[in-house]
Amino acid sequence: MSGCDEEAAVLTTEIPATDLDDCLKVRKWWCFLLSSIFTFLAGLLVVLLWRAFAFLCCRKEPELAPNDPKQKEQKASRQGKQDFEGTFMTEAKDWAGELISGQTTTGRILVVLVFILSIASLIIYFIDASSEEVERCQKWSNNITQQIDLAFNIFFMVYFFIRFIAASDKLWFMLEMYSFVDYFTIPPSFVSIYLDRTWIGLRFLRALRLMTVPDILQYLNMLETSSSIRLAQLVSIFISVWLTAAGIIHLLENSGDPLEFNNPQQLSYWTCVYFLIVTMSTVGYGDVYCETVLGRTFLVFFLLVGLSPDTQAWQNDYLQGTGCEMYTETLSPSFTGMTFPQASELCFTKLKLLLLAIEIKGEEGADSKISINPRGAKILANTQGFFIAQSADEVKRAWFYCKACHDDIKDETLIKKCKCKNLINRNRRSNIPSPSPNQMLNSTKQVNKVKPNVNRQPPDNIVSPSTYNRP
């Protein structure tokens, strides 16, 4: 008896043949897909409503009447409540960020554990997708693979909420690639319990977790040179895209074209993997090909993207340069005591940032001065730096950088908030009043235009353009 016959016999013993036929007459794949879409839209709606609520609450309050102690007391109580809520949210965010950060032992263990469980969930998908059926009627209590996958998805759901708490921009987090992986893999596992059926669905998206292999190898100190990191990134991206595209072909070909779904082609997942690698290599033996319109359409766009010529190096540099803007950010305590050339060299080589100028504060309330490429100036505590970068998130590396935690990191994208930074933030919050919500939102400011003050004499300590230090 073949493997498919044995599986059919098992299904027949679990569900009577007549009931099995009746069950498969009505396809319910849309229930699984709608659960994922509804989860995404509900989360997006919650974030947008929270932002709207915060905007309304943070609007400018009316001015107080002079010498009105009751209104002053009410304002003081509201301010105390806001400070408490802000401190609590910041503490929770720091805790979550510390938990998922690769700079701490706990964070590294959690990241490696998430990767291992993602690969285990992907292996379960490989087992379920080895047959040609994409939808199967089977009681959840008798489905061992789905029970194990549900346990994994519960862990992924907890990890998703931890990442959500640690995210600086909740809206951007909802639109991240790994967030979409969770949307389309976690909710369907709960729907299968209610419907007593399984759908292969988009579980192949777990293969995208293979892109985190270079980061994990760096956490384990197995990758030290930039060339090895780039090679690992290239290999992981290729394998992830390969396995994910094979899953899409498997789903489309075995489902058929909507709305009737009457032209499915029975292909196993590994046949689709073979078909993709032959197609990507432009060999094209012709023994396997797409028959559905959706499968052919996807393959056309996949080949157009995969076989398109790479942009030349000078064009990449030009496009990156045109996308850069000026931003400001506070330099971390690790820069304190450095000269400007030392700080700019560290920013360029370690953080991949271009430091142009720093803010030099005046004595006893005097006006601050922006000094471009100063010669003898040293970086003081809480010095503002002016950077050329592509986004505000890149500039935050200058504030997150910690010599004790990030000195051995080769990939600048891994420079995140560390435990030392959390301690500094807590000490700062205990010594100074909590900032208002508007100040917190504007902590990283984009400089769109700098207008010179023609009525003010130029400061003495600013070097003339002819005597700037040339890098």
Q: What is the pLDDT of residues 421-458, one digit of tens each?
A: 555 554 554 444 444 444 433 444 444 334 334 334 44
pLDDT of residue 45: 95
Q: Give the range among 28-42, 185-199, 250-264, 378-392 with minimum mean pLDDT.
A: 250-264
pLDDT over 70, % of the chain? 75
Q: Is the pLDDT of residue 178 over 60?
A: yes
Burial tier of 175 (Cβ tally within 10 Å: 0-12, 13-18, 19+)? exposed
pLDDT over 90, % of the chain? 27
State the Cα–Cα distance between residues 443 and 227, nearest whole angstrom: 35
Question: What is the rounded average pLDDT of the residues 180-201?
Answer: 91
Q: Is the pLDDT of residue 159 over 90?
A: yes
State the Cα–Cα distance between residues 59 and 438, nearest whole angstrom: 9
* Two tokens, residue 189: 């596992």
Tens of pLDDT, residues 357-394: 998 887 766 677 888 888 778 888 888 999 988 888 88
Q: Is the pLDDT of residue 35 over 60?
A: yes
Q: Is the pLDDT of residue 79 over 50?
A: yes
Report residue 173's pLDDT band, with 50, 70 and 90 as the boundaries.
very high
Q: Give the range among 31-45, 73-87, 133-147, 251-265 with minimum mean pLDDT.
A: 73-87
Reported in sequence order, the residue ranges of 228-383 that DSSP labels E, i.e. its strands, are 325-330, 354-360, 369-372
For the question of whether the overall pTM of this predicted structure is more than 0.75, the answer is no
The CATH fold assigned to 318-432+444-449+462-467 is Alpha-Beta Plaits (3.30.70)
Tens of pLDDT, residues 274-320: 999 998 887 878 888 899 999 999 999 998 887 766 666 667 777 77
Report residue 272's pLDDT band, with 50, 70 and 90 as the boundaries.
very high
Give yes or no for a cis peptide into 259 (omega within 30° of 0).
Answer: yes
Q: Is the pLDDT of residue 145 over 50?
A: yes
Burial tier of 272 (Cβ tally within 10 Å: 0-12, 13-18, 19+)? buried
Q: Is the pLDDT of residue 179 over 50?
A: yes
pLDDT of residue 441: 37
State the Cα–Cα distance between residues 60 and 58, nearest whole angstrom: 6
Q: Give the range among 151-165, 182-196, 201-215, 426-440 with minimum mean pLDDT.
A: 426-440
Q: Is the pLDDT of residue 267 over 50?
A: yes
- Give 129 or 226, the one with higher predicted confidence: 129
Contact 416, 429 (CB under 8 A): no
State the Cα–Cα distance between residues 279 and 242, nearest whole angstrom: 11
Boundaries of every domain in the chain: 1-57+78-221, 223-304, 318-432+444-449+462-467
The CATH fold assigned to 223-304 is Helix Hairpins (1.10.287)
pLDDT of residue 47: 92
Q: What count of Cα atoms within 13 Å lies in the side-chain half-sphere of residue 462?
A: 16
Contact 137, 68 (CB under 8 A): no
146 sits in which H/E element: helix 144-166
